[in-house]
Structure 1
Amino acid sequence: MKYSQMKRFLMEHKDSMKPPYISTLDGILTAGGELIGYQELEMDSPYLDVHEDTSYTKDYVTLHSHEFYELLFCRSGNLQYLIGNTRYQIRKNDIILVPPGTSHRPLFLEQLREPYQRTVLWINNDFFETCKQNFFADTGSSQYAPQKQLPYVIRPEGTLLNQIDQLLAALLYEGSTMRLGSELYRMGLFLQLFCLFYRMNDHPQSDIPKPENTGLLDQILNYIELHLSEDLSLASISAQFMVSQSTVSQLFKKQLDTSFYKIVTQRRLIESKNLINSGFPLKEVAEQCGFCDYSVFYKAFVKEYGISPRSFRTREKETHDFY
């Protein structure tokens, strides 16, 4: 389902659906039993989409990934954000850039004193990579483009912050009007943003937030990331880090508000999407992601994303072929 279709669905059913029907980012469960999964939402545009979003203290956002770049301009909120296996402390006006296939989620929404508001850009992966190649070709450094990665979190200030804010406001306006040439105009605005980000990266005019200090949770998350194909049970993790199983279980519940096994399954499924997109056979994907057999992987994938692994592969191939 595309983002615009989900918004239309909510508008049409807002009077008949009782809160908290939108309380989690697992999706919206309709009266007919259909699960509209947020992390499987598709872009409306083949290039970039822009919208505004707000999360409240009652909301719960699961660990998820997208098949496109997601840029978040945080307009409020003082929260932590988990990107991959690294936690960052996020402030107002921070910019979060999440590459395709990278797991992420905000943490501790229930502790916020105000709603978490952000401007959201979704950027097609192929379009983003084309922008990158053209940017470095123009600067005479195209051979380094694949290695030039933007940081996950940027903290712009002063004039630079004002420039970014104005460009995002223009993007939102164009997205709401859809006038003649609006798509091309929005692409031009994004190209200005893109150049600003990479200029900042080469000649920092902003603070680059550092990851939070590494603790037991971060060590376990990093271990999970590096051993997805292996046995990842409470018993094996507690033995690896020489702590009790209850310590591990309580740590995940307290810090991530979810279970250890839920995080492991979500990380495996996110990695499975990356492998599918890379062309791996489906049975091999299941093995490399630590599922005991294909049927277990299939059921977990359908439950999480509402689509079979084979259908997901077909859909993503059609998206890339279109671009």
Structure 2
Amino acid sequence: MKKNLQTEFSTRQYMLSKDFEIYYYNDRNLPPHVEMHAHNYYEFYFFLEGNVKIQIRDQQYPLQYGDLILIPPHVYHRAVVQDMELPYRRFVFWISQEYCNHLLDISSDYVYLQQYVQIQNDYIFHNDRITFNTIQSRILRLIEEQRSDKFGRAPQITLCVDDLILHLNRLVYERNNPQNPQVIESLYQNVIQYIEDHLDETLSLDVLASEFYVSKYHIAHVFKENMGLSIHQYITKKRLTACREAIQGGGNITHTYQMFGFGDYSSFYRAFKKEYGISPKDCQDMVSLS
């Protein structure tokens, strides 16, 4: 994490700006006791590191890397640091009720998460590393833009804020509203077909998510549930099959592994040997001898 993005810790619990504020904190030896407190704005809290619990009303929740916590206005809470010697790292994003109302006028999709938390009193959302890395990249982009002096800074900051909020709302909505089995099966089959048709092109979760207009988390989850393999494992197996068939058909080994997305021969060799128990050259020689 870039050190110049860090903010010195402050006990201030009110906003200086009208719409939103965002901070990256990395602290040790904080005051041992934080009083229960509440705000008149929404607090999005993203946990990175430390031995910390968060108390919301009368319940304490242990935190793990990637957790998103949303504290609505007027809900009492505090962080409980268990080990003062460990680094305590987190992002804190404050957004006013007025700005949320402004977003609501644009679309209710911007405030699904805020409304869900207030109705369900469900404040903690766990994320895997891939999902949280996507969230973190949006946060860092916003902080960097705030600290820049580039042309178009103000409208770009607004775009970053709105994009972050909408991304979080979409993430939680998709988890709470899984698609029906027919739609999931259709997505799964379409992903398989797309991989089959594009083995010689760049294939990644980002590419697939963009192609099918769903989150990376959702598409990875659907695929693993149906196939029992990660998308990366499946793509590698399909590419190895295509390489074996090309080599057995007389194809040049170097041209073949490059065509099907293997960056270098050593990684291709290891994957091929692991999958088939023989080297690519031995596979080619076996065909010529038969």
Higher relative contact order (CA closer than 8 Å, sequence separation 6+) = 1
So what's the TM-score if we normalise by structure 1? 0.45
Normalised to the residue count of structure 2, the TM-score between the two structures is: 0.50
Structure of larger gyration radius: 2
